[in-house]
């Protein structure tokens, strides 16, 4: 049995495409690329590297087959931000419940926390999601996530609509 963590999950929504202010781009060479049919092991690397310090566990519980079914679904899009040729962060968009779209996961590699690219990657995720024409865009965060996540989501135009307390169990 893994360590258990109580957390408060905040569900946020955006009901119309926001007018986002420009934000600084990553310094040096960077590229934001869609990962087309990424290998499961590469996805697990991204998920674990970004989420390890924030108790991301849901995808760790999935078998390779179940995870593959999600990440290779034609209505799921994964984008990786590369800085200096290496992954700096990623986001995952889920369009399977349109007209509701979801930013399922978004985060930075630990070495890029505090570099200022969090607002850049979130802005790109929002713009990419709205380009698909949803009526509603949702995202969630919890008290185990980085403390700047919730304020950043709200600055970018998301509004909280629900909260719930949950208990998460770490997965080895």
Q: What is the pTM of this model?
A: 0.94
Q: How far apart, in Å, are the Cα atoms of 71 and each of 39, 127, 149?
A: 9, 20, 24
Domain count of the fold of the chain? 1
How confident is the model at residue 134, as a pLDDT? 98
Strand extents, DSSP E, the chain: 4-14, 30-34, 76-83, 86-97, 100-108, 136-142, 159-169
- Cα–Cα distance, 114 to 58 (Å, whole number): 25
How confident is the model at residue 171, as a pLDDT? 75
How confident is the model at residue 114, as a pLDDT? 87
pLDDT tens column, 118-153: 999 999 999 999 999 999 999 999 999 999 999 999
Domain containing 62 equals 4-169
Q: In the sheet where 100-108 sits, what is the strand order?
A: 30-34, 76-83, 86-97, 100-108, 136-142, 4-14, 159-169
Token code pair at residue 147: 């403390």
* CATH code: domain of residue 61: 3.40.630.30
Token code pair at residue 64: 């390779």
Q: Does residue 1 surpass a pLDDT of 70?
A: no
Cis peptide before 99 (omega within 30 of 0): yes
How confident is the model at residue 88, as a pLDDT? 97
């Amino acid at each position: 049995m893994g360590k258990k963590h109580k957390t408060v999950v905040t569900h946020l929504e955006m009901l119309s495409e926001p007018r986002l202010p420009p934000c600084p781009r990553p310094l040096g060479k960077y590229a934001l690329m869609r990962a087309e049919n990424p290998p499961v092991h590469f996805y697990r690397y991204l998920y674990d590297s970004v989420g390890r310090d924030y108790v991301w566990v849901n995808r760790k519980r999935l078998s390779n087959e179940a995870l593959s079914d999600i990440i290779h679904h034609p209505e799921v899009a994964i984008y990786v931000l590369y800085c200096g040729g290496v992954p700096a962060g990623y986001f995952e968009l889920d369009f399977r419940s349109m007209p509701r779209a979801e930013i399922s996961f978004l985060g930075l590699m630990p070495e890029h926390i505090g570099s200022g690219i969090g607002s850049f990657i979130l802005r790109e995720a929002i713009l990419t999601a709205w380009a698909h024409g949803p009526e509603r865009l949702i995202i969630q965060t919890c008290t185990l996530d980085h403390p700047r996540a919730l304020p950043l989501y709200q600055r970018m135009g998301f509004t909280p609509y629900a909260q719930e307390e949950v208990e998460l169990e770490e997965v080895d």
